[in-house]
């Protein structure tokens, strides 16, 4: 990282965060990071968390993955559809968009919106604040969604100190790497479901041309590597 930063001004300006877990040399895995504990807005990266949660919910008998819901998961991951993500997140949390809620109704809504975050905590991961869907920004953020986003009493959001809404989505590179490691080693889901989720996250620049200049394209040029990923873009990120 030091060498890369020294020769690349734009990388220095990007406030980059990196985390690496080495799963090939025994337990516990070796961890290296560069600002990996600093939270950032994850944009669409959060969608792979909701994909994993959907399969865990199915294992627990809370929902079934078939038909329309299965299509929504595909659109969420492969097309990175925000509309599909809103529908998936609504199913996971048993919440729906709508007008602002009264104090009593909002308390229940607030609790339900943190369902995925509570599941992550059972895995030992407490630095992924995954409590919102993703939005297109064309007026689809309103009412109770905006009410929740303004709620400074929910811990873990990016907060006003970062110039963001208090309860905005936040993920760290270290927390993300740890969750991906649990997926890679079949520890967050059953082996069968882990394999399905990994398959849905497989990236091939020959099938998705826009990936040629992302990590999958770089891996293809090196050869002998496979990429399972979810990228995200937002503004300068």
- Interval 75-117: pLDDT, tens: 999 999 999 999 999 999 999 999 999 999 999 999 999 999 9
Tokens 């943190």, residue located? 114
Distance in angstroms (rounded) separating the CA atoms of residues 30 and 41: 26
Q: Are 144 and 98 in contact (CB under 8 A)?
A: yes
Q: What residue ranges do the domains of the chain occupy? A: 40-200, 205-231
Backbone angles phi, psi at 152, to 5 degrees: -75, -5
At residue 150, the pLDDT reads 95
Give the pTM: 0.95
Distance in angstroms (rounded) separating the CA atoms of residues 86 and 111: 17
Most distant pair of Cα atoms in the chain: their distance: 56
Distance in angstroms (rounded) separating the CA atoms of residues 22 and 224: 17
Going from the C-alpha of 78 to that of each of 17, 176, 183, 234, the distances in angstroms are 24, 19, 18, 17
- Interval 118-177: pLDDT, tens: 999 999 999 999 999 999 988 999 999 999 999 999 999 988 666 778 999 999 999 999
At residue 51, the pLDDT reads 98
């Amino acid at each position: 990282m030091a060498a890369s930063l020294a020769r690349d001004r734009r990388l220095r300006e990007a406030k980059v965060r990196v985390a690496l877990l080495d799963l090939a040399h025994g337990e516990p895995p070796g961890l290296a990071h560069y600002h990996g504990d600093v939270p950032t807005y994850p944009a669409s990266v959060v969608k792979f968390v909701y994909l994993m949660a959907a399969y865990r919910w199915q294992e627990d008998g809370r929902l079934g993955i078939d038909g329309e819901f299965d299509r929504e998961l595909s659109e969420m991951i492969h097309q990175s559809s925000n509309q599909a993500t809103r529908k998936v997140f609504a199913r996971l949390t048993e919440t729906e968009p709508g007008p602002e809620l009264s104090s009593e109704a909002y308390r229940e809504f607030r609790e339900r919106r943190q369902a995925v975050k509570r599941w992550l905590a059972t895995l030992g991961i407490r630095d992924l604040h995954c409590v919102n869907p993703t939005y297109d920004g064309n007026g689809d953020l309103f009412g109770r969604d905006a009410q929740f986003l303004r709620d400074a009493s929910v811990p873990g959001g990016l907060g006003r100190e970062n110039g963001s809404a208090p309860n905005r989505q936040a993920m760290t590179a270290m927390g993300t790497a740890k969750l991906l490691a649990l997926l890679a080693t079949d520890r967050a889901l059953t082996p069968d479901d882990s394999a399905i989720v990994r398959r849905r996250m497989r990236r091939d620049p020959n099938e998705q041309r826009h990936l040629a200049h992302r990590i999958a394209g770089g891996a293809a040029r090196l050869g002998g590597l496979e990429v399972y990923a979810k990228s995200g873009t937002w503004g300068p990120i």
